Structure 1
Amino acid sequence: MTQGPLDLVRLAGEGNSVVLRVTGRARRGAREMDVLTGEFVVDTPFISGTLNTWLFPEDLTEWRECLDALDALDAGRAITWREATRGPALSIERDDAEERLRVTIRDGMTTLTTVTVTVPLADAWFDDAYDRLDQAWKTWAPTEDH
């Protein structure tokens, strides 16, 4: 199925945003694995930038596990996605005092850069995050038969 870009992760508000956009599908590696191409997009009045990345099926599965563990945010713990993988990691922490999320992207492999952006915590974000993940699986799920 051909589809335009899809925002898998979208945290935005008050002029700040962090997005992980799925942009397509590619074949990668010696075994020619089917992977998704994507980019982290950070935009604030102070800094803007993009960072390309690949997403494997296990990354989508791990993102679902992070979403399932969002009660950790209420308990004051951060959730971190792709911390032990070859690509950029995403961490989300809640700041209860201001009903905000601190979103950190850490690229320890390519640019050796870490960026933290604060966004308001929207009640609808959690349901929207699951909807975006389901859409990513339906639209972009890597296939075995090429």
Structure 2
Amino acid sequence: MPDDITPLDLILLADEEGNTVRVTALGRYPGQADMLTAEIVVETPFVRGRLDLALWGSRLEQWGRVLDRLEAGEDAGWMTVESGPSLSVRLRGERDCPEVVVEDVTTSMVTVVVPVDLPDDWIARHRERLATLSAAWAPE
């Protein structure tokens, strides 16, 4: 994935209420051909936040496994056993819709829970996003 391409969203969980959680691959990580720079962005009418993130092949594979669990009806977390930020999806949140939990226990020590009313085909769309990003990016 050349550094000068348009950023690609790996995750885009958004609803009509203005609640959004997005993970965007921005380009190659400087000096690391097998890594991508990325960011997690949370935007709601109440809260906005952004975290830097690095992505590599095993993290993309792990996201694919998270999608498998979510499709099976299980809550699932991504990057939960690593240092740095993590993202979890609870399929049945307190407001009768899925909740996305973004945690940054390492740096800011902040946790944000975002209810997001997702369309029925959101998992299929995220599989397409994962395939697009995986095809666009390959270690040099």
With structure 1 as the length reference, what TM-score do the two structures score?
0.85
User: What is residue 25 of structure 1 aligned with on the other side?
Assistant: 28
Structure 2 distance, partners of 1:57, 1:89, is 16
Which residue of structure 2 aligns with residue 69 of structure 1?
69
Equivalent pairs counted in the alignment come to 137
Identical amino acids, percent of aligned pairs: 36
The aligned counterpart of 2:42 is: 42
4+ runs of 1 displaced by more than 6 Å?
A: none
Change (3 A) 1:96 1:39: closer
| Structure 1 residue ranges without an equivalent (≥5) | none
How far did residue 99 of structure 1 move? 4.9
TM-score (norm 2): 0.89
Cα shift at 1:91? 0.4
Shift of the 96–82 alpha-carbon distance from structure 1 to 2, 3 Å rule, reads: closer
- What is the CA–CA distance in structure 1 between the aligned matches of 2:131 and 2:107, rounded to whole Å? 29
Contact 1:99 1:121 in 2 (8 A): no
Corresponding residue for residue 55 of structure 2: 55
**How far, CA to CA, are the matches of 1:18 and 1:95 in structure 2?**
17
Q: Using the TM superposition, give the Cα deviation of residue 56 of structure 1 relative to its aligned residue in structure 2, in angstroms.
A: 1.7
Tell which deviates more after alignment, 53-62 or 1-10: 1-10
Deviations 1:54-89 (A, max 9, x none): 0121100100011111145x3xx4200111112211
- Aligned counterpart, 1:10: 12
Q: How do residues 105-116 of structure 1 correspond to structure 2 at under 5 angstroms?
A: 105-116=102-113
Shift of 1:129: 0.3
> What is the letter of the counterpart of residue 26 of structure 1?
Y
